[in-house]
Structure formats: C-alpha cells, structure tokens
Amino acid sequence: MSWASVGQYGIRTMTTLRLALVQLSVGNDKATNISRAVSFIERAKQKRADIVILPECFNSPYGTSHFATYAESIPNGETSTALSEVARKNNVYVIGGTIPERDNEKLYNTCTVWGPDGNLVAKHRKMHLFDINIKGKITFCESDSLSAGNSLTTFEAKDWKIGIGICYDIRFEEMARLYRNKGCQMLIYPAAFNMTTGPLHWSLLQRARANDNQLYVACVSPARGSPPGYVAWGHTQLTNPWGEILDELDAGEDMVVSDIDLKIVNEVRAQIPTFNQRRTDLYDTIWKEN
C-alpha cells in the first residue's frame, strides 16, 4: 500500500472516499451490457463504495458504425433508467461511463452522473473527438458520426469536487488545468485507449495530469475484447496527486475498490505550491464561455 493513500484496506475517515472502478466486458447485446453494469454496481455497494465508475461506451461496442444503432436519449433511455434505479436502490453515486447519446439529429459520446437519490447530477459530452491516423496501425474518426460537447462538467460528492472528461479529453492539459482552477480534487475519465496508444500513453497521461494538477485521476477502461473491431487496452488505473499509481487492473473484466484521502490532495498542494507560483502575470489558461 502506498504511503500516500489510505489504500483498499485502510481505515476510513471523514476525508476519505471509496471508489469502485469497474472494467466491464462489452458485447453486442445492449441489455446484457446494461445488466452486467448493474450487477457490478451492486457488488461495489456490498464493498461499501461511495462512487462506482463504469468505462467508456459500456452499453455498446465502440465504433462509428455502432453509435447510431445503440444511441438513446438521456435521461429517458433504457440505460439511463437502469443507472438511475441502481444508484437509488444502492444509495451510491454512479459515473455512468459513456453511452452514445441521441439528441435530435446529433449523436454524442456522453457520460452521465447519477446521485444516490437516483437523480441525474451531471452530463458530460466528450469535448475532443478521437480523430487519429497512425499509419499502418490504427485510424479512427469519431467525428464521422459524433458531435463534440462544449462544456466542462463538475459535480460534488462528500466534500469532493470532481471533474469529468472522456478518453481523448485527457490529452488536453488545458482542460485538466481549468478543472484545477475550478477547485477539483479529482478527475474521472471513462476511456478506451487502444492497443497502439495504450501501451505508450495510457499510464503516462494519467500520471502527468495527476502530477501537474496535484489531484487524483481515475481512468476506467472496458475489458480487452478480441478482433475484429476496436480492441481496448484495458488497464483501468487510479493515480494519486504525487503521480503514484495506487491501483491498476490487467486486461480482463474486473473491479478494484480503493479509498482515497482528501488530506493527500491538501498536503501535496501545500508542500509543492505550484498553483500559487504560476506566473499568471505572463501566462494563463482561460475558459472562453459560450
């Protein structure tokens, strides 16, 4: 157990939060995918989790050819209904990974946040669409079917302020800095890195965002599937404000439950006070409101 974490089996205090990171296997049947997610949320509650986090695109195969077929409205679609109900029944926060969202004629890659009362607390639409072309390895273009979101998304749980991003969003350090500016102590990214970028950048980016902004970072991936189609790297990870990896899964379906401590955030920020040492007289990161 890391010295900088309460750890999975540590003593809980008023400043700790228990997270469940769920690395789900995702298949072609939406009802089965939803049912598996609900089952893991119930198991997480048995371990006394405060927040349960699902992966990107957990109710649908990940691919531009699938988004329109599996898309549904929020908060009235079948996935939203199931997440609302399981959050309420188990008195737990649920970060609903992402699902393809249909809003009139547009599709979005959207993360929902459900409160212990079953109400929709927040909704984040992926701001940076995953359009890449690594020759001979992978080409993917989310913008062929999806529209980009235009808003930062935060919510509060048990004295924590938490920011939401989705997968490719983590590559944009300005977005993480804006969340830090807004007072966030943790960033959550449902994500599905692939077999090319995953080994190179998955852990690196999480540690960088955590260290740069002195906060916790949780990235939750689907379990690794099999070709054909998009194959996720897996390796769901939790990182602390020192940039230390507290927990990491392998490639298969699994769940990790771990405590994090708000005091660690405060200690790191007091000991290495970079936030107050930034030369905002010379440079700054700003949010341009729509």
**Sequential DSSP letters for the chain:** --TTS--TTSPP-TTEEEEEEEE----S-HHHHHHHHHHHHHHHHHTT-SEEEPPTTTTS-SSTTTHHHH-B-TTTSHHHHHHHHHHHHHT-EEE---EEEEETTEEEEEEEEE-TTS-EEEEEE-SS--EEEETTTEEEEGGGT-------EEEEETTEEEEE--GGGGG-HHHHHHHHHTT-SEEEEE---BTTHIIIIIHHHHHHHHHHHTSEEEEE-PPP--SSS--B----EEE-TTS-EEEE--SSSEEEEEEEEHHHHHHHHHHS-HHHHS-TTT--------
Within a domain: 208: yes
Active site residues: 56, 126, 167
Q: Which residues pair with 53 in a beta bridge?
A: 21, 95
Within a domain: 223: yes
Averaged over 216-242, what is the pLDDT?
A: 94
Tokens of 69: 């077929």
Within a domain: 281: no
pLDDT digits (tens, 9 = 90+) for 191-222: 999 999 999 999 999 999 999 999 999 999 99
Within a domain: 112: yes
Tell me, what CATH number does 240's domain have? 3.60.110.10
Within a domain: 181: yes
The torsion angles phi and psi of 29, rounded to 5 degrees, stand at -95, 115
Is the pLDDT at 8 greater than 70? The verdict is no
Within a domain: 4: no
Within a domain: 40: yes
pLDDT digits (tens, 9 = 90+) for 266-278: 999 999 999 999 9
pLDDT of residue 81: 98
CA distance 147 to 157: 29
Is the pLDDT at 130 greater than 90? The verdict is no
Q: What is the number of domains present in the chain? A: 1
Is the pLDDT at 4 greater than 90? The verdict is no
Name the region of 214 (left: φ>0; alpha: ψ -120 to 50; beta: rest): left
Is the pLDDT at 79 greater than 90? The verdict is yes
pLDDT digits (tens, 9 = 90+) for 30-77: 999 999 999 999 999 999 999 999 999 999 999 888 999 999 999 999
Within a domain: 282: no
138, 196 in Cβ contact below 8 A? yes
- Find where tokens 């939750």 sit: 220
**Entry pTM:** 0.93
Structural domain that includes position 249? 17-276
Residue type, 216: Y
pLDDT digits (tens, 9 = 90+) for 133-192: 888 888 888 988 999 999 999 999 999 999 999 999 999 999 999 999 999 999 999 999
